[in-house]
Structure 1
Amino acid sequence: MKLSVIIVNYNVSYFLSQTLLSVRRALEKLDAPAEVFVVDNNSVDGSVAMVRARFPEVILLENKHNPGFAKANNQAIRQAQGEYILLLNPDTVVEEDTFRVCCEFLDNHSEGGGLGVKMLDGQGKFLPESKRGLPTPRVAFYKVFGLAALFPGSRTFGRYHLGYLDKDQTHEVDVLSGAFMLLRKKALDAVGLLDEDYFMYGEDIDLSYRLTRGGWKNYYFPGTRIIHYKGESTKRTSVNYVFVFYRAMIVFARKHFAPNQAGVFSLLIHLAIWLRAGMAVGRRVLAGVAPVLLDASLLYGGMYLLKNYWEEYQKQGPADYPSPLMQVVVPAYVLVWLGCAYLSGSYDKPFSAWRIIRGIVIGTVLISAGSNFLESYRYSNALILLGAFGAYWRSLAGD
C-alpha cells in the first residue's frame, strides 16, 4: 500500500464531499495502491450517510462522541497500511497530481519524515501557514506584539511563517500544517503518533518538532497546490478558537521547553489569549452595532434636513424650532424608532419588510403618545410622520 489518506470530519458534509471527490481524482493519477479513511466525530449534518452513499470505497470510522482531532487521526493511523500517511482536512481540495508528485518527492528524499505543500484560500491567496517556524518564546513575542505582521519578510521578526523564504521554492521547515501533512509511516513508527493531550490545534506542531528531533526532515514542497477553505472546519475568528489554539501552545511549551522558557512562553501566550479574545469580541460587537449606528446617523441627518425644510417652507409662526429639538427630542425619536425596530427583529436575517414596518409603527405610536404627555417637548406631528417614513426607507435600503 503506497498511501493512506486520513480525513477527520466534524459537521462539514458539503466540504467533505468536495474533498473526497478531489481525493478520488488524485488517487487515479497515483497509479499505486491506496486507501482512504474518514473518521467522523459524531457529526449531526448527515456526513456519515453522505460518505456511505457517495463514496463506498472509503473506510468509514464512525465515532459516537467527539474525541478530538489527534485521537481521531490516531484511530485511522493504527489501521493504515500505507507507506505514507496523509492527514488531510475536510475543507480542502487537492490537485489531480498532488499525491503522485508528493509521494515521488519523498521517494527521492529518504531523510524526509514529513511534507507540506503550498496552500491557497478560497480566493486563491497564498496561506502563510503553509510553512512555519518553531514557536519559541522569541518567535511568539514577535507574533503577539505584531512585529511578525509588520515585517513578514524579516529573518528576525518573520520566523513564525518563515516569510523570508520564497513560497515558490522547496525548503526545509520546522513545522508542517495539519491541514495537509504527508508523513512517512516509518518516521511515525519511530517518533510516535499524534499526542492526544491536544484536543484540537498544536498536535501538528508537536509532531513536526518530534520528527526533527528524531533526525527526520520536514519539507515545504510547492510542486503542487491545494485549496484550503480556511475557517470552514474551524471558525478561526471565534473566541473559542482563540482559547483552544493558544492553550494548545502552552501544552507544547510545557512539554518541550525548559521550565524558564516555558514560563516566559506561557506568559506571552496568556497575553495573546486575552488580546485576541478581546479583539474577537470587539469585532463581533462592532459588526452588531455598526448597522444600528449607521442608521442612527442617517436618520438624525435626515431629521435635520426635514427640520430645515419645514422651518423654511411649511412652519407657521416663529421661523426656527428651539434648540432642544435637535439636541434632545430628535435623538430620542431615533432611539425609540431604532430600538423598536431592533426588538422587532428588523436587523435579523433573513430580511423581512414586515418586521421593519412593525418596529417603526410601534416606535411612531410611542413617540406620538409620549409627545402628548410632554408639552414642553411637543413640536410637529408632521416631522414625526416624515421621520417615521425616513426610518422605514432607511431600513429597507440597509437590507
Structure 2
Amino acid sequence: MSTPQVAIVTVSYGSDEALEPFLASVPSAGAEDAVVVVADNRPGFGEAERIATTHGAEYLPMPANLGYGGAVNRAVRGLPDSVEWVLVSNPDIVLGPGSLDVLVATGSADPRIGSLGPRVLNADGSLYPSARDVPSLRTGIGHALLYRVWPGNPWTTRYHRSESEPTGRDAGWLSGSCLLVRRRAFDELGGFDDSYFMYFEDVDLGYRLGKAGWLNRYEPAASVVHTGAHSTSESSSAMIRVHHDSAARFVARKYPSPLLWPVRAIILAGLRVRAEVETRRGRGGKV
C-alpha cells in the first residue's frame, strides 16, 4: 500500500462547472499517489459529491460555509500524517502537465522553502498576477488612494511590477488560487488565518511564512491556467466589499502600533472609497 506524500485540496461552493475540468487535469500534473480532497462549503447544492467521486477524490462536506481558508484548514487537518506537501487550489484552475511534479521537486531541493507558486495564466494566455511583494506602508497608501484615479502612479507600478516578470524568484506572497505549501510550515503557523473569510488569506499566509523564516518561491517552470469560472462572480458587489474588508484587516494586523493609527486611518479610508467606486461601477452607476 502506497504512502502518499502529496495532497491536493480544493474548495467548492457550487463550483460544478469549474470542478470537473480541474479534477480532470490532476492526473497529468504528476504526484501519482496524491490524495485529492474536495472541501464543499455548499453541500447539498449542485453535484460536487458526484464529480469528486467520479474522479476518485475524497468529498468532504463542511458543517457550514467556513470560507476559503477555513475549509482548507479543515481538509488539511484530516490528511494522512505521511503527507509532506499540499497543493491548495481554486477549482477554476486547470493544472498543466507535470506542474505539480515541478513544484514538489523545487521545494524538496531547498528546505528553506515553505510555499511555492506556479506561473498562472488567464484563459486568454495573459499572465495572471500571482507573485508579489508584501506592500510597505508607503506603497500601500499610494496604491490604496490613487489606483483608480491615477493607475500609473509610482506606488501601484511598484506593487504590480512583478506581474510582467515570469522568472523564478522569492516573493512576499503567492496567490492562493494555486499554491503548494510545505505541510510542516503550514501546520507551524496554524494554516490559513480563517478570520479572513475570503481574500487576503494568501497575502497573510505569505507574510507570516516570511516572518517565520520560510521562503515563498515563485516557480514559473510549472504552469497552470486560471479559467475564472468561479462562484464568486454571482455576487460581485458583495465580493468587492469582502475583498476590501479583508485588505483592511491585513493592514490593521500588519501595522498594529498605536503610533501608526493616522496612517492606518488613511489607508482604510482609501480602501472604503475604492470599494464604493468599484461597487458602483459594477452596477453600471456613475462615479
Same fold (TM over 0.5): yes
Q: CA separation of 1:139/1:230 partners in 2, compared to 1, >3 Å: closer, same or farther? A: farther
Superposition CA RMSD, Å: 2.3
Residue 178 of structure 1 is matched in structure 2 by: 176
| Structure 1 residue 253, shift from structure 2 partner | 1.5
CA distance in 2, matches of 1:86, 1:162: 26
CA distance in 2, matches of 1:122, 1:166: 17
CA distance in 2, matches of 1:118, 1:236: 26
CA distance in 2, matches of 1:256, 1:281: 32
Residue 13 of structure 1 is matched in structure 2 by: 16
Q: Output the amino acid matched with 1:94.
A: L
Residue 46 of structure 1 is matched in structure 2 by: 47
| Structure 1 residue 228, shift from structure 2 partner | 0.5
| Structure 1 residue 11, shift from structure 2 partner | 0.8
Residue 159 of structure 2 is matched in structure 1 by: 160
Q: Which has the higher helix share?
A: 1
Give the 5 Å matches for 1:44-193.
Answer: 44-52=45-53, 54-55=54-55, 57-81=56-80, 82-128=83-129, 130-144=130-144, 145-146=146-147, 149-150=151-152, 156-163=155-162, 167-193=165-191
Give the 5 Å matches for 1:1-399.
Answer: 1-27=4-30, 30-31=31-32, 33-43=33-43, 44-52=45-53, 54-55=54-55, 57-81=56-80, 82-128=83-129, 130-144=130-144, 145-146=146-147, 149-150=151-152, 156-163=155-162, 167-230=165-228, 232-235=230-233, 238-259=236-257, 260=260, 261-282=263-284
CA distance in 2, matches of 1:192, 1:134: 20
CA distance in 2, matches of 1:191, 1:148: 37
Structure 1: gaps spanning 5 or more residues: 287-399
Q: CA separation of 1:271/1:231 partners in 2, compared to 1, >3 Å: closer, same or farther? A: farther
SS in 2 for 1:244: helix
CA distance in 1, matches of 2:246, 2:20: 29
Q: Output the amino acid matched with 2:87.
A: L
Q: CA separation of 1:137/1:243 partners in 2, compared to 1, >3 Å: closer, same or farther? A: farther
Percent sequence identity is 26
| Structure 1 residue 236, shift from structure 2 partner | 8.8
| Structure 1 residue 64, shift from structure 2 partner | 4.4
| Structure 1 residue 231, shift from structure 2 partner | 5.4
| Structure 1 residue 141, shift from structure 2 partner | 3.2
1:275-327 CA deviation, whole Å, 9 max, x = no partner? 222222236x89xxxxxxxxxxxxxxxxxxxxxxxxxxxxxxxxxxxxxxxxx
Q: Which has the higher contact order (CA 8 A, sep 6+)?
A: 2
Aligned length: 275
Q: CA separation of 1:279/1:138 partners in 2, compared to 1, >3 Å: closer, same or farther? A: farther
Give the conservation status (yes or no) of the 8 Å contact 1:137–1:268.
no
SS in 2 for 1:162: helix
| Structure 1 residue 96, shift from structure 2 partner | 1.6
CA distance in 1, matches of 2:235, 2:42: 23
Give the conservation status (yes or no) of the 8 Å contact 1:42–1:64.
no
CA distance in 1, matches of 2:119, 2:234: 20
Give the conservation status (yes or no) of the 8 Å contact 1:170–1:220.
yes
TM-score by length of 2: 0.88
SS in 2 for 1:198: coil
Q: Output the amino acid matched with 1:256.
A: K
Q: Output the amino acid matched with 1:62.
A: P
Give the conservation status (yes or no) of the 8 Å contact 1:148–1:160.
no
Q: Output the amino acid matched with 1:251.
A: R
Q: Which has the higher strand share?
A: 2
Name whichever of 15-24 and 130-139 sits farther off.
130-139
| Structure 1 residue 168, shift from structure 2 partner | 2.6
SS in 2 for 1:282: coil
SS in 2 for 1:60: strand
